[in-house]
Structure 1
Amino acid sequence: MSTGIVTTDLRKTFPVRRWQGWRRRPAAAPVAAVDGLSLRIPPGQVTGLLGLNGAGKTTTIRILSTLLRPTGGTVSVDGLDVVEHAREVRRRINVISGGERMVYDRLTARENLWYFGQLYDVPRARLRARIDELLDLVGLTEAAQVPVERFSRGMRQRLVIARGLINDPAYLLLDEPTLGLDAPIAHQLRALIAQLAADGVGVLLTSHYLAEVEQLCRHVYLIARGSLVAQGSPAQLAGQTVRRHTVRLVLAVADPAVTAVLRALAERHGAELTVDVDDEGRPRFTLRHPQDLVGAVVTAVVQAGGAVAGLTVTPPTLEDAILTLTDAQAVAVR
Structure 2
Amino acid sequence: MTTSDVPAIEVTALTRVFGSRRRPDAAVTALRGIDLTIGAGEVHGLLGPNGAGKTTLCKIITTVLLPSGGTARVCGHDVAAAPRAVKPLIGIVFGGDRGLYGRITPRQNLALWGALYGLHGRRLASRTDELLERVGLSERADDRVDGFSRGMKQRLHLARGLVSDPRVLVLDEPTTGMDPLAAFDFRTLVQELRAEGRTVLITTHDMAEAEAVCDLVTLIDRGQVLVTDRPEVLARRMSAYERVEAARVPASTAEELRRIPGVSSLDRAPDGSVTVEVSAAGTTGEVLRTLVAAGVTSLATVRPGLAEVYRHLVRDRGMRVGR
TM-score by length of 2: 0.87
TM-superposed CA distance for 1:287, in Å, is 2.4
Q: 1:138 is matched with which residue: 135, 150, 154? A: 135
Give the corresponding residue for 1:21: none
**1:326 aligns to 2:317 (yes or no):** no
TM-superposed CA distance for 1:41, in Å, is 1.8
Contact conserved, 1:276 with 1:285, CA < 8 A, in 2?
yes
Distance 2:188 2:132 in 1: 17
Report how many aligned residue pairs link the two structures: 313
* AA of the residue aligned to 2:90: I
TM-superposed CA distance for 1:29, in Å, is 4.8
Distance 1:127 1:80 in 2: 27
* AA of the residue aligned to 2:308: D
Contact conserved, 2:89 with 2:166, CA < 8 A, in 1?
yes
**1:287 aligns to 2:297 (yes or no):** no
- Over aligned residue pairs, what C-alpha RMSD do you find? 2.5
SS in structure 1 at match of 2:319: helix
* AA of the residue aligned to 2:270: V
SS in structure 1 at match of 2:153: helix
Contact conserved, 1:247 with 1:312, CA < 8 A, in 2?
yes
Give the corresponding residue for 2:71: 74
Change (3 A) 1:284 1:105: same
Distance 2:112 2:240 in 1: 50
* AA of the residue aligned to 1:235: E
Change (3 A) 1:194 1:269: same
Change (3 A) 1:16 1:180: same
Contact conserved, 2:10 with 2:36, CA < 8 A, in 1?
yes
Distance 1:145 1:44 in 2: 34
* AA of the residue aligned to 2:15: R
SS in structure 2 at match of 1:121: coil
Distance 1:325 1:11 in 2: 22
Q: 1:122 is matched with which residue: 119, 122, 127? A: 119
SS in structure 2 at match of 1:94: strand
Gaps of 5+ in 2: none
CA-to-aligned-CA distance 1:91-142 (integer Å, 9 cap, x gap): 1111112334221112211111011011112354322111111111122112
- For the pair shown, which has the larger CA radius of gyration, 1 or 2? 1
Distance 1:29 1:36 in 2: 20
TM-superposed CA distance for 1:201, in Å, is 0.6
TM-superposed CA distance for 1:245, in Å, is 2.0
Distance 1:221 1:114 in 2: 35
SS in structure 1 at match of 2:209: helix
Contact conserved, 1:224 with 1:329, CA < 8 A, in 2?
no
Give the corresponding residue for 1:275: 268
SS in structure 2 at match of 1:74: strand
TM-superposed CA distance for 1:294, in Å, is 5.6
137-146 vs 287-296, which deviates more?
Answer: 287-296
Distance 1:171 1:323 in 2: 30
Gaps of 5+ in 1: 18-24
TM-superposed CA distance for 1:303, in Å, is 4.4
* AA of the residue aligned to 1:180: G
SS in structure 2 at match of 1:181: coil
Q: Aligned runs of 1:7-86 on 2, under 5 Å?
A: 7-16=11-20, 26-86=23-83
Q: Aligned runs of 1:218-233 on 2, under 5 Å?
A: 218-233=215-230
TM-superposed CA distance for 1:43, in Å, is 1.5
TM-score by length of 1: 0.85
